[in-house]
């Protein structure tokens, strides 16, 4: 993947050698290397504008990652000058019947196909990190907000661009943005569709960090996560995904259940033994 940052003269290019599963869907690349799934939007000549096939395949990629117990992380990124410029209206507009079918909920989460492209990443039991550069508009922003973390290039720009078309965001933003910023910010950005830069996104809590090399920052976090039990990492994600809005009455039982499952598992025992002996743990495949 080579992501050329507009005006910067720099690019981010992770190694192309693949040591695991690799496939290409409709302008979506899925490549597993060193226990990390690299999912890349690959329509660079259109700034990775989303076709309906790409939207379906993003949800399928999340499902694939969720079933792979060998994974330790997922990195979402975009080929070419941008992460994603949103929905390709010229392409999608020719398929109105399919658009209407995709609006019908099909999953246990009540998500339809559009929403699953962003929200399905919350069901992947490993950290999902969006590496954002260039334009991140509309559906692209909603996909990024569906990740657990967002590492942004300094010259990335953002917009909830649906306002330009007389629409509201409908790819899971109503749930994801509520966890990150205030309701006044969410209303303002949705009502106006205004553009904002990476530093403003950081100030509003919409990105996790702003970096000269966001891929390197993402890789540093992945390396830190790999030092910990894969079951504890999965349980940490499940804990907050299932309790963030709930309050103590509903949160505490989830916390208790997950902790019991961890205490009974192999990886927790491995972590305890390594901690006591001050050695590096050698974890087994994720059990949760």
pLDDT in tens, 213-237: 999 999 999 999 999 999 999 999 9
Of 127, 171, 181, 133, the residue nearest 149 (C-alpha) = 127
CA 20/CA 40 separation, integer angstroms: 16
Q: How many CA atoms lie within 13 A of 234 on its CB side?
A: 24
Kindly report which listed range (53-67, 134-148, 263-277) carries the lowest average pLDDT score. 263-277
Per DSSP (E only), the strands in 46-170 are 73-78, 128-132, 135-137, 149-153, 157-159
pLDDT for the residue 5: 36
pLDDT for the residue 71: 98
Strand pairing partners for 204? none
pLDDT of residue 106 exceeding 90, the answer is: no
Give φ, ψ of 231 to 5 degrees: -70, -40
Q: Where are the domains of the chain?
A: 28-224, 229-277
* 3-state helix/strand/coil string of 157-195: EEECHHHHHCCCCCCCHHHHHHHCCCHHHHHHHHHHCCC
pLDDT of residue 2 exceeding 60, the answer is: no
What architecture is domain 28-224? Alpha-Beta Complex (3.90)
- What is the mean predicted confidence (pLDDT) over 238-249? 85
Q: 208, 216 in Cβ contact below 8 A?
A: no
pLDDT of residue 6 exceeding 50, the answer is: no
Of 223, 33, 211, the residue nearest 127 (C-alpha) = 223
4 vs 134, which has greater pLDDT? Answer: 134
CA 58/CA 87 separation, integer angstroms: 13
CB atoms under 10 Å from CB of 19, counted, come to 11
Q: 153, 5 in Cβ contact below 8 A?
A: yes
pLDDT band at residue 14 using 50, 70 and 90 as cut-offs: low
- What is the mean predicted confidence (pLDDT) over 181-193? 96
pLDDT for the residue 8: 41
pLDDT of residue 109 exceeding 90, the answer is: no
262 vs 32, which has greater pLDDT? Answer: 32
105 vs 63, which has greater pLDDT? Answer: 63
Tokens of 198: 């990476």
Of 114, 116, 141, the residue nearest 48 (C-alpha) = 141
CA 148/CA 233 separation, integer angstroms: 12
Rounded CA Rg of the chain:
19
Alpha helices in 14-51 (DSSP H): none
Please state at what angle helix 248-263 crosses helix 266-277, rounded to 10 degrees.
Answer: 70
Global pTM value: 0.86
Of 286, 132, 99, 276, the residue nearest 218 (C-alpha) = 132
Give φ, ψ of 36 to 5 degrees: -120, 130
66 vs 25, which has greater pLDDT? Answer: 66
Q: Which helix (H) or strand (E) holds 92?
A: helix 89-92
pLDDT for the residue 61: 96
| Residue percentage of the chain with pLDDT more than 70 | 86
Kindly report which listed range (39-53, 68-82, 159-173, 248-262) carries the lowest average pLDDT score. 248-262
pLDDT for the residue 256: 83
Whole-number average pLDDT of the chain: 88
Q: Which helix (H) or strand (E) holds 39?
A: strand 36-41
pLDDT band at residue 22 using 50, 70 and 90 as cut-offs: low
């Amino acid at each position: 993947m080579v992501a050329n940052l507009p005006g910067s003269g720099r690019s981010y290019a992770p190694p192309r050698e693949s040591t695991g599963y690799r496939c290409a869907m409709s302008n979506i690349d899925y490549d597993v290397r060193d226990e990390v799934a690299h999912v890349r939007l690959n329509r660079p000549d259109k700034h990775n504008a989303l076709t309906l096939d790409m939207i379906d395949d993003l949800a399928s990629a999340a499902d694939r990652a969720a079933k792979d117990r060998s994974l330790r992380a997922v990195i979402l990124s975009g080929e070419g000058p941008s992460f994603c410029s949103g929905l390709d209206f010229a392409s999608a507009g020719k398929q109105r019947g399919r658009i209407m079918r995709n609006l019908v909920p099909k999953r246990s989460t009540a998500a339809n196909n559009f929403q699953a492209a962003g929200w399905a990443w919350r069901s992947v039991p490993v950290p999902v990190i969006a590496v954002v550069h260039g334009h991140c508009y509309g559906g692209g922003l909603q996909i990024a907000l569906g990740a657990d973390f967002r590492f942004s290039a300094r010259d990335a720009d953002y917009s909830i661009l649906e306002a330009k078309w007389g629409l509201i965001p409908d790819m899971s933003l109503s749930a994801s943005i509520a966890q990150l910023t205030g309701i006044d910010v969410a209303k303002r950005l949705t009502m106006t569709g205004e553009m904002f830069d990476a530093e403003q996104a950081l100030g509003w809590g919409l990105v996790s960090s702003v970096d000269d090399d966001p891929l390197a920052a993402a890789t540093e976090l992945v390396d830190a996560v790999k030092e910990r039990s894969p079951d504890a990492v999965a349980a940490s994600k499940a804990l907050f995904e299932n309790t963030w809005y709930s309050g103590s009455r509903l949160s505490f039982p989830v916390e208790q259940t997950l902790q019991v499952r961890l205490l009974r598992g192999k990886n927790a025992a491995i972590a305890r033994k390594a901690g006591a002996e001050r050695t590096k743990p050698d974890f087994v495949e994720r059990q949760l």
